[in-house]
Structure 1
Amino acid sequence: MAEPTVLCRVDELADGQARGFDLAGDGQDQFFLVRHQGQLHAWRNACPHVAGAPMAWRRHAYLSADGQQVMCHAHGARFEPDTGLCVQGPCQGQHLQRVPLWVDEAGQVRLTPAPAR
């Protein structure tokens, strides 16, 4: 089993913000975190409409302008930030792929195991 990867501290991401992570170092985020109503959610950076299509139009730009929904900027699809359910767009009814994470007692957000590419 892989060692847990520390992503950031839980207090580094404010409510209504998102942050992408490029653990492979290839210039494209493999997944992103969203903080919504005080809870953290991690999603694979891939729109279900087109397999593997990245969601953000620029680094960390995963949310709608009002910060209330995750948005695929290529297809205009909108997703609930806590469930990953597509509520508008070409993949309506489908879900983003959840990435497992946990927050340790020191407030560090950890990923186990690392997401597959």
Structure 2
Amino acid sequence: MKDFKPVCHHCGGEIKYLNDLVVVSELLNPKPITYHDRCYVKNIKKLRGDLLGGPINTFKNTVLIILYILISIIFLFLNYVMGIIFLLVASVQIYFRLYSWFKYEKKYFS
């Protein structure tokens, strides 16, 4: 299991470096998909953009998760229903981020 490296969904090549790994969540797909950075930028992102799903293993996504949690805490005190909705959205994002970390990214550090 130490030699596990993710495979690019587009070209089928092994992703050898963490900087080259892009983990994408797609709309209505519970399992994130892995791509090389160059395959994602040249082929996938150009064709459909980030509308139907985007990279999960980015700094931007991590900041969004933190913002979702903060907003949901604020709304829990102001408007309970909106707080629950934001918390549900945050929990989906947290699930994808944790799944990406434990399934793919953590392997590069061992």
Establish whether TM, by shorter chain, passes 0.5. Answer: no
Q: Which has the larger radius of gyration?
A: 2
Structure whose residues are more often strand by fraction: 1
Structure possessing the higher relative contact order (Cα contacts under 8 Å, 6 or more residues apart):
1
TM-score (norm 2): 0.30
The structure whose residues are more often helix, as a share, is 2
